[in-house]
Amino acid sequence: MKEIIGVIGAGTMGAGIAQVAAQAGHAVVLTDTNPEQLLKAQQQINGSLDKLAEKGKINPDEAEQIKQKLKYSTQLSDHSAAGLVIEAIVENLSVKHQVFQQLEQAVSSSCVLASNTSSLSIAAIGSCLNDASRFMGIHFFNPATLMPLVEVIPGVATAAEHTEKIENLIASWNKTVVVCKDTPGFIVNRVARPFYGEALRIYEEGIADFATIDWAMTTIGGFKMGPFTLMDYIGNDINYTVTETVFAAFYYDPRFKPSFTQKRHMEAGFLGRKSGRGFYAYTEGSSLPQPIANPELGKQIFERILVMLINEAADAVFMQVASPSAVDLAMTKGVNYPKGLLAWADELGASWVLEQLEKLFTEYGEDRYRPNPLLRRIAREQSKFIL
Ligand SMILES: NC(=O)c1ccc[n+]([C@@H]2O[C@H](COP(=O)([O-])OP(=O)(O)OC[C@H]3O[C@@H](n4cnc5c(N)ncnc54)[C@H](O)[C@@H]3O)[C@@H](O)[C@H]2O)c1
């Protein structure tokens, strides 16, 4: 019999994770301190399963069976029979500590405990436990039911056997699992920073406007969405906060420096789609600005952002955050990049990528553009990232 999965926090992420586990055949207990939120989650999950049945993706009996697998509760003690409990509550270390300390008393000694945190350190969350060897990060992406990627993050105290078990378990939920080191932003939220940061910098230098940068990245680069359209989707408040958190967590490495342009948009309440205006206007009657579709300018913009992304991906490998193939999988499955960044570097040639970064570094004299040592090594040896 499949083990029981516990999920704490019935918000955006928790409800999605609970649905994924139930669809994978587990009995699931979803808890939240707020009964209204539990009801909302139940309605959302049932609605989503009904839709899948209507579309013929699952049969109606199956949808009913999955609904029966989910129990909703306000009591943490209802996780007592769980084999794995994933926490997805508010992103606050002391609140997470309170919950995990209570939870540890309620579950069996073999139960694995995990957090879906995006920005806190796994070591810091796990430090409140008597036995942190069974604690790790399991980072789903929003929406959890649709996004295939899950980052599994063992902390310094996590026992390898638990990591391996969870890797296999989550893979059996039809997800793409990458294991990565407990470092700020894990893989995706770290490697993706230049997609936003370098686009904002190009705008701030007056090289191009938002629409032209978005056009360059989609039409020339093949990305599904341009950086400014994407930031408006994510919300400038959320995206700016992630950047600021990663910047501080990396001891203010200039590679991650946040942008005044985005900060001012956030301060002005130009949050993006949700507030009706971000970098673009979304209110009725407003239309999107036209790009300056100059292929030469577009190529220059795309290549500058791409080499910065590749440099960051190389750094994640260089600092042993994850393997080259895990980094590439993470960016294609977690944020839909058209190609793995390191496979892209191999295609373009590491020497060419290095040359572009060196030009930027010489031009600006800023540490932000320093080429990664692994990129230098691979260029020098005329080797490849993905062998
Ligand atoms: N939203 C995202 O895109 C996203 C993506 C990946 C990871 N995360 C992470 O997932 C976690 C949850 O984020 P979210 O966006 O789902 O938040 P949310 O605000 O939508 O939901 C949080 C839920 O936790 C409940 N809660 C708060 N304190 C609680 C407690 N002490 N005990 C039980 N329940 C409690 C709240 O009632 C709420 O229903 C955070 O750690 C966040 O960093 C979020």
Q: Tell me the pairing of strands 135-140 and 149-154.
A: antiparallel
Question: Has residue 362 got a pLDDT over 90?
Answer: yes
> What pTM value is reported for the model?
0.96
Residue 248 sits at φ, ψ, to 5 deg, of -65, -40
CA–CA distances in Å: residue 129 to residues 82, 158, 161, 175, 260? 17, 12, 18, 28, 40
- Residue 21 near residue 7 (C-beta atoms within 8 A): yes
Work out the average pLDDT over 207-217. 98
CA–CA distances in Å: residue 220 to residues 90, 109, 229, 357? 39, 53, 16, 19
277-299 pLDDT tens trace: 999 999 999 999 999 999 999 99
- Cα separation, 193 vs 198, whole angstroms: 8
Per-residue model confidence (pLDDT) at position 171: 98
CB of 245 within 6 A of ligand 1: the answer is: no
120-178 pLDDT tens trace: 999 999 999 999 999 999 999 999 999 999 999 999 999 999 999 999 999 999 999 99
- Residue 136 near residue 166 (C-beta atoms within 8 A): yes
CA–CA distances in Å: residue 323 to residues 100, 102, 222, 317? 30, 36, 24, 6
Per-residue model confidence (pLDDT) at position 1: 85
Residue 152 sits at φ, ψ, to 5 deg, of -105, 125
Sheet strands side by side (includes 112-115):
70-73, 28-31, 4-8, 82-87, 112-115, 135-140, 149-154, 176-179
- Cα separation, 21 vs 207, whole angstroms: 47
Residues annotated as catalytic (active site), given as ranges = 118, 139, 151, 189
317-360 pLDDT tens trace: 999 999 999 999 999 999 999 999 999 999 999 999 999 999 99
Per-residue model confidence (pLDDT) at position 9: 98
27-45 pLDDT tens trace: 999 999 999 999 999 999 9
Q: What is the four-CA torsion angle of 207, 210, 215, 218, rounded to 10 degrees? A: 110
CB of 6 within 6 A of ligand 1: the answer is: no
Per-residue model confidence (pLDDT) at position 254: 96
Work out the average pLDDT over 48-70. 97
Residue 291 sits at φ, ψ, to 5 deg, of -80, 165
Residue 68 sits at φ, ψ, to 5 deg, of -70, -20
Per-residue model confidence (pLDDT) at position 24: 98
CB of 90 within 6 A of ligand 1: the answer is: yes
Mutation choice for ligand 1 from 7, 8, 13, CB with most ligand atoms inside 8 A? 13
8-26 pLDDT tens trace: 999 999 999 999 999 999 9
**With 0-12 CB in 10 A as exposed, 13-18 as middle and 19+ as buried, what is 29?**
buried
Q: What is the four-CA torsion angle of 31, 36, 42, 45, rounded to 10 degrees? A: -100
Q: Which atom of ligand 1 is nearest to the CA of 10?
A: 39
Per-residue model confidence (pLDDT) at position 265: 98
89-103 pLDDT tens trace: 999 999 999 999 999
CB of 14 within 6 A of ligand 1: the answer is: yes
Residue 6 sits at φ, ψ, to 5 deg, of -105, 140
- Per-residue DSSP letters for 288-336? PPPP---HHHHHHHHHHHHHHHHHHHHHHHHTTSS-HHHHHHHHHHHS-
Q: Which atom of ligand 1 is nearest to the CA of 140?
A: 6
